[in-house]
Amino acid sequence: MDNKDLCNLLLANIPYQTMHVKKKSFCTLSFGRDGYVWIMKKGLLLCVRSMEDSRYKGLGIYDEYTLMGIGGLREETRHMTAYALGNSTLSFFSTKEVLAFLGKNNQACYAFMLNMSTTLLGAWNDLEINTLGTLEERLQAFEKLVAGKTLPRDVNFSEAVMAMSIGAHPGSISRLRKQLKGGKKEAPAEERQRP
């Protein structure tokens, strides 16, 4: 059972609500035992956190048939800010009802566990590249991630969105892309200032 099959199984067996998010707008998603598990039905969302310098840093990109909020299966309530890269539609279920359904359906529970494992592995990979990678490596990892997503027709990745996704300044992204296009090897100022 792949992610699409799992999402459709949840949608067919658990009552859910729907939320629409317009392109280029922010929304807040709630997770936890008293919150929700979310499914991206259509569109593309960028999960973000606000940094100390008031810029946003992307934490994940979610496309069609992606489950969100699986970290909220525990007691802690959390909220995620997301930026819609395209007109998006989400379905959301009560976490308690999802857990009750998984407790009764072994096949769904196994598929959910595999989904969580894949998500965790992706988070570890993202953490490694964002902690240890140069700006060029972070940009390349972002481009590789986006290439593997189902992109709606109305999505375009401006340098501001790319900068938000990898936690860099838009000017640094612009300079780096010009350097890579021109074949220059000089590191952006952001990287040259590293100790």
| pLDDT score of 175 | 84
Cα–Cα dist 88/20, whole Å: 6
| pLDDT score of 150 | 77
CA atoms within 13 A on the CB side of 171: 3
Do 7 and 67 meet the contact criterion of CB atoms below 8 Å apart? Answer: yes
Helix, strand, or coil here: 128? helix
The full DSSP string for 71-95 is GGGSS--EEEEEEESS-EEEEEEEH
How do the domains of the chain map onto residue ranges?
Answer: 3-192
Q: What is the pLDDT of residues 21-40, one digit of tens each?
A: 999 999 998 888 888 999 99
| CATH number 2.60.120.10 is the correct assignment for the domain at 3-192 | yes
Q: What is the pLDDT of residues 145-184, one digit of tens each?
A: 888 787 777 777 777 777 777 777 777 877 887 887 776 5
Q: What is the pLDDT of residues 68-125, one digit of tens each?
A: 887 667 777 788 889 998 899 999 999 899 999 999 999 999 999 888 888 888 878 8
Do 15 and 124 meet the contact criterion of CB atoms below 8 Å apart? Answer: no
Q: Is 84 left (phi over 0), alpha (psi -120 to 50) or beta?
A: beta
pLDDT for 63 beyond 80: yes
pLDDT for 62 beyond 70: yes
Cα–Cα dist 85/44, whole Å: 5
pLDDT for 193 beyond 70: no
